[in-house]
Amino acid sequence: MIETGRYQPRYVASGVIRVEKYPAPERLRQIFQAIGQLLEQFQPDSMAIEKVFVHKDPNAAIKLGQARGVILCAAALQALPIFEYTPTQIKGVIVGKGHAAKGQIQFMVQQLLKLGEAPQEDAADALACALCHARFATLKVDPHQLSQRKRF
């Protein structure tokens, strides 16, 4: 989670919700509850989330879709505005190229938020998505109106 103001975005919090030890339905409940608690604790103005991408492993894609669904539901129940960005959009804003490696994302998130160390991969991805949203909001550009070919 980041906070934006007049100047540079400021780091607020980040982390990873670990649910591997639970059976599938319980994982979704744990994710839903954890997101609800975070929304209540931090009361964000909006949520930025990565758009689903086609994954090589269909089972992994289904699990990702389910987790993403409960996250979106938790945000929707709070009437939170939700903004979606493609991995290419996020990487392009954060690193300057749409096909950056995970390590590059971690490094740039660390630099942009002036963190003492690079965040864990999943946390860095979430922070990168938040930073991407902050950039689009600052530019007052609707990301849904952009095609992959437009430049700004």
CB 129, CB 49: distance < 8 Å:
yes
The structure's pTM equals: 0.87
Q: Which of 97, 95, 84 is nearest to 130 (CA)?
A: 84
Q: What is the pLDDT at residue 52? A: 79
Domains, the chain, ordered by start: 2-145 (3.30.420.10)
Instruction: Give residue-wise pLDDT tens across range 96-108.
Output: 998 999 999 999 9
In this structure, the dihedral spanned by the alpha carbons of residues 1, 111, 116 and 39, taken in order and rounded to 10 degrees, is 0
DSSP 6-53: SSS-EE--------TTS-HHHHHHHHHHHHHHHHHHH--S-EEEEPP-
Q: What is the pLDDT at residue 13? A: 96
Instruction: Give residue-wise pLDDT tens across range 3-47.
Output: 987 778 999 999 999 999 999 899 999 999 999 999 999 999 999
